[in-house]
A = this chain, B = another copy of it.
Amino acid sequence: MTRSLTTVESRLRKQKPDSGQIPFGRTFTDHMFVMDYEESKGWHEPRIVPYEPLTLDPAAMIFHYGQTVFEGLKAYRTDDGRVLLFRPEKNFERLNLSSERLSIPPIDEEEVMDYLKKLIDLERDWVPEFEGTSLYIRPFIIATEPSLAVAPSKMYKFMIILSPVGPYFSGGIRPVTINVEEEFTRAVKGGTGMAKTAGNYSSGYQAQEKASKEGNADVLWLDGVEKRYIEEVGSMNIFFKIDGEIVTPALSGSILRGITRTSILELLKEWGWTVNERRISIEELYQYYEEGKLEEAFGAGTAAVISPVGEFNWLGKKMVVNNHEIGPVAQKLYDTVTGIQRGRKEDDYGWTVEI
């Protein structure tokens, strides 16, 4: 069901970035999508309007109790000028899962998909064409009721904003160094780790700064209970190639169910790899490393698609993986996923949606 969508076109058009060197998430397009929720009306008044500031009461609940969820996906430009989304239905499915955990009313996934397509269609010229660039899509819901009572909001705003972004790493993929975080905790069983909600991100800044000071690009989080089991990297799920097999942490309730993660699991299985989704501790990983069995490591997420890990730092010990070089599995996954996303490879899986 699609309610009547109102579109108010912007009279002014901003200048579009003219190169592939666009800093992440600082430039926004001419329009955005907005829809409101009130208890008596449900989600209502879907509209595409000029990108403009929000006006909210200082008591709006988003400022006080963090009731909010978000998503991140991308629109890609193909060589022949078409615009493709990558499995966008998975993002709205996950948005509703996140909302359930945060006591936010669900959206109609099909309806919102229709609005997203209309928004991207209107902003089609904003999808950049340079190698590695894309149009980042940020759907999010915030609690807007002006009340300091610690209870679910009765009013929400759902929005989609769009930002042209450059390649995550300039010059294609290159292996990064990751710090294994022992002090801070990202998430714990019974918490909000599986949800894409604001509080999960700023809570990692201290660990991120510490890692960065010591020359690491990101943080590897361990489980919050035993501080042993590997969960995820900063903004990505993590994969290992150990003694010829693929290992990735099983979704424990505190790990984000990545859409790139799901996709590469499907690819790896189709390619005949033995894939183990299971608990793996940092001690176990280190043991494989010492035995020479840790053959590859890479993160998987929307931002970088595939990001090889060249080195892990763990309590003063170093694990250098594949001599700091990109491994063949990471390279093939990167080429395949980005190939499908940019229309260079046949999409045998029905993963792309053309706008």
CB-CB nearest in chain B for A143: B202
Interface code A111-139, partner B: CB below 8 Å = 1, 0 otherwise?
00000000000000000000000001010
| Distance to closest chain B CB from A82 (angstroms) | 25
Q: Are A208 and B54 in contact (CB under 8 A)?
A: no
Q: Are A138 and B148 in contact (CB under 8 A)?
A: yes
B-binding segment of A7-15, A149-157, A241-249, A338-346: A149-157
CB-CB nearest in chain B for A163: B148
Interface code A45-76, partner B: CB below 8 Å = 1, 0 otherwise?
00000010111111110111111101000000
Residues of B within 8 A of A58 (CB): 28, 32, 51, 53-54, 159, 161
CB-CB nearest in chain B for A70: B64
Interface flag for A26 (CB, 8 Å):
yes
Oligomeric state, in copies: 2
Residues of B within 8 A of A224 (CB): 188-191, 224-225
Q: Given known contacts A53-B58, A151-B205, A206-B103, is B146 in contact with A64 (CB within 8 Å)? A: no
Q: Are A53 and B55 in contact (CB under 8 A)?
A: yes
Q: Given known contacts A152-B205, A185-B188, A198-B198, is B140 in contact with A63 (CB within 8 Å)? A: yes
CB-CB nearest in chain B for A185: B190
Q: Given known contacts A25-B147, A26-B147, is B201 in contact with A64 (CB within 8 Å)? A: yes
Interface flag for A24 (CB, 8 Å):
yes
Q: Are A103 and B26 in contact (CB under 8 A)?
A: no
| Distance to closest chain B CB from A304 (angstroms) | 12
Interface flag for A200 (CB, 8 Å):
yes
Q: Which of B24, B67, B149, B205 contacts A67 (CB 8 A)?
A: B205
Residues of B within 8 A of A25 (CB): 59, 147-149
Interface code A87-105, partner B: CB below 8 Å = 1, 0 otherwise?
0000000000000011100
Closest 4 CB pairs of A and B: A199-B199, A25-B148, A66-B198, A185-B190
Q: What are 16 sample pairs from A and B whose C-beta atoms fall under 8 A apart?
A: A62-B63, A65-B198, A65-B201, A65-B202, A67-B202, A67-B205, A101-B206, A148-B163, A150-B235, A152-B205, A152-B209, A183-B190, A191-B191, A197-B203, A198-B199, A225-B225
Enumerate chain A interface residues (CB-CB to B < 8 A). Answer: 23-26, 28, 32, 51, 53-60, 62-68, 70, 101-103, 136, 138, 140, 142-143, 146-152, 159, 161, 163, 183-192, 197-206, 208-209, 224-227, 234-235
Q: A26-B149, A53-B58 are in contact. List 13 more A-B contacts (CB 8 A).
A: A28-B58, A51-B58, A54-B55, A59-B138, A59-B163, A64-B138, A65-B202, A66-B197, A138-B148, A188-B191, A188-B224, A198-B199, A199-B202
